[in-house]
Amino acid sequence: MNEDAVSKEVTCRCPYCDAEIKLISGTCAICEPCSITIITCASCGAPARKGAESCPQCGEPLRD
């Protein structure tokens, strides 16, 4: 199996409303309860709000 073709799915909590959301690597997720688009930090994998300048977990700059 080609590992590049497999998406990694992670379940986490929305950093804003604590709802459970599923993050799939390479995609954005939308937290339904608070209507916020969530991305993952490329450095640490933590959830962050799309449009944020830096990761709330590690402080690295974020790219949309």
Residue 37 counted as domain residue: yes
Q: CA neighbours within 13 Å on the CB side: how many for 55?
A: 16
Q: Into how many domains does the chain fold?
A: 1
Residue 55 counted as domain residue: no
Q: Residue 51 pairs with which residues in a beta bridge? A: none
Report the alpha-carbon distance of residue 32 to residue 59 in Å, rounded: 25
What predicted TM-score, i.e. pTM, was given to this entire model? 0.63
What's the pLDDT score for residue 59? 95
Q: Does residue 2 register a pLDDT over 60?
A: no
Report the alpha-carbon distance of residue 51 to residue 4 in Å, rounded: 27
- Its domain, for residue 20, covers 3-49
- Cβ within 8 Å of residue 62, ≥6 positions away: 39, 41, 42, 48, 52, 53, 54, 55
